[in-house]
Every structure is written in structure tokens, then in C-alpha cells.
């Protein structure tokens, strides 16, 4: 499957090494990151209602950037989960690690990009499609 972004860009952004994820070598890390880029690509396509590979000759650079950021979120989560299942917030408080792949800033960035999402607004008589 094709995916948005590149493994090298994820590595550059995160600084992740195969040992950070308890993997055996660089090849195993590349395969893991490719899988996560595929997940990010699938999530973007579903959210936007569009497959940018099918609809555009050139993928918008923002889409690649978003996929890289989402994959970086997966890298961060994986590293944290391997260290502990909670994050210490202060001397006496902790919270569980939450999965935050598609964060609010990413959703906000996706809103500015071409999509086939249907937007509905609710009215007194029900709802109407707004394009």
C-alpha cells in the first residue's frame, strides 16, 4: 500500500532508533514506521472522504506533513508505553497514557485541505447539507 509521508521524515522528526522501540535492527524499525504511515494514511483518507493518491497527480505537501506528525504521535506513544502505562503530572498525580494520533491541531489542519466530507447543520426542521 502507498502511504503519505516518508519513513526518513518520521525518523528526522522523532529521532527514533530501533532500540527505542525494542526492535532488532533498522530494517525492523523501517517496517514498523511504514505500517504506522499506512495507518495514518488510512485515517486521513477516512476523515477527509478522499484518497489523495487517486484524486491528485501530486499529493499536497500538507497531507504528507500531517501523516508524518500522526506517525510521530504513534512513535511517542509507543516509547511512553514501553516505559510506563502512566505519565506523572506532579509529585502526587498521574494519568494513563492516552492514544492521541489524530490530535485537535491535526484535525484543524485537515479542515483547510480538499475533502469530500459532508457537512450538515441542524435546523428546526431537521438538518441540511452544506457541501
Strand partners, 126: 123
The enclosing H or E element of 122 equals: strand 120-123
40 has a pLDDT exceeding 50? yes
Give the pairing of strands 120-123 and 94-96.
Answer: unpaired
Domains of the chain: which residue ranges? 7-113
Rounded to 5°, angle at Cα 38 from 51 and 76: 125
The enclosing H or E element of 56 equals: none
Distance in angstroms between the alpha carbons of the first and the last residue of the chain:
30
Which pLDDT does position 79 carry in this prediction? 86
Please name which of 58, 41, 49, 37 lies closest in space to residue 114, comparing C-alpha atoms: 49
Inter-residue contact 71 to 33 (CB < 8 Å):
yes
Q: How far apart are CA 70 and CA 62, in angstroms?
A: 12
104 has a pLDDT exceeding 50? yes
Chain segment 42-65, per-residue pLDDT in tens: 999 999 999 999 999 999 999 999
Amino acid at each position: 500500500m502507498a502511504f503519505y509521508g516518508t519513513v526518513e521524515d518520521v525518523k528526522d522528526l522523532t529521532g527514533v532508533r530501533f532500540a527505542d522501540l525494542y526492535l532488532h535492527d533498522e530494517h525492523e524499525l523501517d517496517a514498523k514506521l511504514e505500517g504506522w504511515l499506512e495507518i495514518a494514511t488510512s485515517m486521513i483518507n477516512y476523515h477527509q472522504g478522499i484518497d489523495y493518491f487517486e484524486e491528485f497527480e501530486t499529493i499536497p505537501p500538507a497531507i504528507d506533513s500531517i501523516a508524518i506528525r500522526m506517525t510521530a504521535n504513534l512513535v511517542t506513544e509507543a516509547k511512553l508505553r514501553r516505559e510506563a502505562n502512566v505519565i506523572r503530572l506532579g509529585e502526587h498525580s498521574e494519568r494513563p497514557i492516552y492514544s492521541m494520533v489524530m490530535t485537535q491541531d491535526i484535525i484543524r489542519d485537515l479542515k483547510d485541505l480538499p475533502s469530500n466530507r459532508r457537512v450538515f447543520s441542524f435546523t428546526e426542521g431537521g438538518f441540511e447539507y452544506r457541501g
